Amino acid sequence: AFRPPQFGGANEPFNFPALPWQIGGVSVAKILIFDEYPSIRNLLAEELAGEGNVILSIGRAELLRDGIATFNPDLAILDLFLRGRFRWDFLEEIRQQEPTLPVIIYSGYYPGGDPHLDQVDGFILKSCVLEELKQCISYVLRQPDLAASM
């Protein structure tokens, strides 16, 4: 069974081997997933890795900065709704660290009208059907200057 890299345990180091980022002539996207729920991280990781992407799954906020620096993702999928509120400060830290990194918020809660939504490349409400998320990922990855134009 597929086991994506899981980071979120105590004192786990980030150590990524050099990978060929072209597999069989197909470009591979490196996607970082941040969600506090392991079941959601695992579902997304398995589905997206099954399409040929390389996945880093993170469950603890304090590991997010190091994960981005070490993994150097092409895209981040984040659920910033933690413990009853949106943690936009995480998005601000990501934007300071990697201003051009495309970010999709994938959450069960919609912060309608929040100006922070202007800083992301997509927002998808969580669902058991992942087609909408996959379509958003495909669109964002085809738009190389989308995040840079913000």
* CATH number assigned to the domain covering 27-141: 3.40.50.2300
Q: How far is residue 128's CA from residue 105's CA, in Å, rounded to a whole number?
A: 16
What's the token pair of residue 29?
A: 């996207």
28 pLDDT higher than 60 = yes
**Cα separation of 109 and 124, whole Å?**
10
Instruction: Reply yes or no on whether the pLDDT at 21 is more than 70.
Output: no
Name every residue whose Cβ is closer than 8 Å to that of residue 113 and which is 6 or more positions away in sequence.
Answer: none
Q: Could you state, in order of their start, the residue ranges of all structural domains in the chain?
A: 27-141
67-111 confidence digits (pLDDT tens): 999 999 999 999 988 877 778 888 899 999 999 999 999 988 887
CA distance 28 to 94: 22
Predicted model pTM: 0.74
